[in-house]
Amino acid sequence: MSDHIVLETRGLTRVFGERVPVRALDGVDLKVTAGEILAIIGPSGSGKSTLLNLIGALDTPSSGEVIIDGTPLTQVRNLDSFRGKTIGFVFQSHNLLPTLTARENVEVPMYELRIGGKKRRARAVDLLDLVGLAHRADHLPSQMSGGERQRVAIARALANEPAIVLADEPTGNLDSATTADIMALFARLNQERGLTLVLVTHNTEVAAAAQRVITIRDGKIQRDVSMGSEIERELLLFKSSVLGQAIMRGDALPPELAAIAPGLSHLLEGV
């Protein structure tokens, strides 16, 4: 991992509504290094999607700024073109066009860069090969499984070799085995291609696969933890377990656990 900052937010704030304003995001400062996998977790409504949409220039901040690869978004003349070149998106729903084959779907973002037909096709086939779907190139989305469709969506996100890929609950519609496959694919792309990934998830197992986990609450960054060691991963997983939740809530526990609960809850606070 280099120390090149590929994404930075400064005081990023988004207020929705006028009469009853909701501060969906409240002064978020964030730096993401090239080659990092960052997971954003937090309760429903905490501002995760709002943050991702602002980073991806799909929404405009009320105040503060987003800087992608050294360029403040406010200085970008043609946002559509900038977005197409610099950012890849993966959503919970794959959003593939149903009448296009896998290969044609992967080619879609390349039109923005006016890449010629031959090169477009070759690159799409390479990307499908990269995600293990060369044999599905001519299939329609309806002829593929949920996990395969999401892999096509990942290949499409990589179409223009973006500086950063943003994924909002990319495994939200998948079973746990397929979720593990998709996370393994992201990890391989990270290792082989230096993929920089910002991933929103409410699945702690997904988050534990990241190198860094940010917790958002009420539009603010509450915790920012580097998963430097196996212990931090295990603690994060334990935190979402029934027992971990009980300890965090301060529930009454059997005596043998009550004795160590204060120490554990302190440890869990840190992840």
Ligand X SMILES: Nc1ncnc2c1ncn2[C@@H]1O[C@H](COP(=O)(O)OP(=O)(O)O)[C@@H](O)[C@H]1O
Piece in contact with ligand X (CB under 6 A), picked from 14-22, 91-99, 104-112, 256-264:
14-22
Closest-CA residue to 150 (of 127, 129, 173, 130): 173
If binding is defined by CB under 6 A, does position 46 make contact with ligand X? yes
Distance from C-alpha of 105 to C-alpha of 148, rounded to nearest angstrom: 13
CA distances from 166 to 32, 160, 163, 254, 256 (A): 12, 14, 10, 43, 44
Give the nearer residue to ligand X in terms of CB position, either 160 or 204: 204
53 binds Mg ion (CB under 5 A): no
Do residues 16 and 62 make contact, with C-beta atoms less than 8 angstroms apart? no
Rule CB under 6 A: is residue 93 a binding residue for ligand X?
A: no
- Asked whether the CA dihedral 84, 85, 87, 88 is positive or negative, the reply is positive
Pattern 19-38, ligand X, x by CB under 6 A: ---x-x--------------
CB of 49 to Mg ion, least distance (A): 3
| Among 13, 46, 49, 150, interactor with Mg ion by CB under 5 A | 49
Task: In angstroms, give the least distance from the CB of 52 to Mg ion.
Answer: 8
Query: Closest approach of Cβ 19 to ligand X, in Å?
Result: 12
When asked if residue 204 is in the footprint of ligand X (CB under 6 A), the reply is no
Decide whether 17 or 254 has the Cβ nearer to Mg ion: 17
One of 9, 13, 49, 160 touching ligand X (CB under 6 A)? 49
Size of the residue set binding ligand X (CB under 6 A): 12
Q: Residues in the site for Mg ion, rule: CB under 5 A?
A: 49
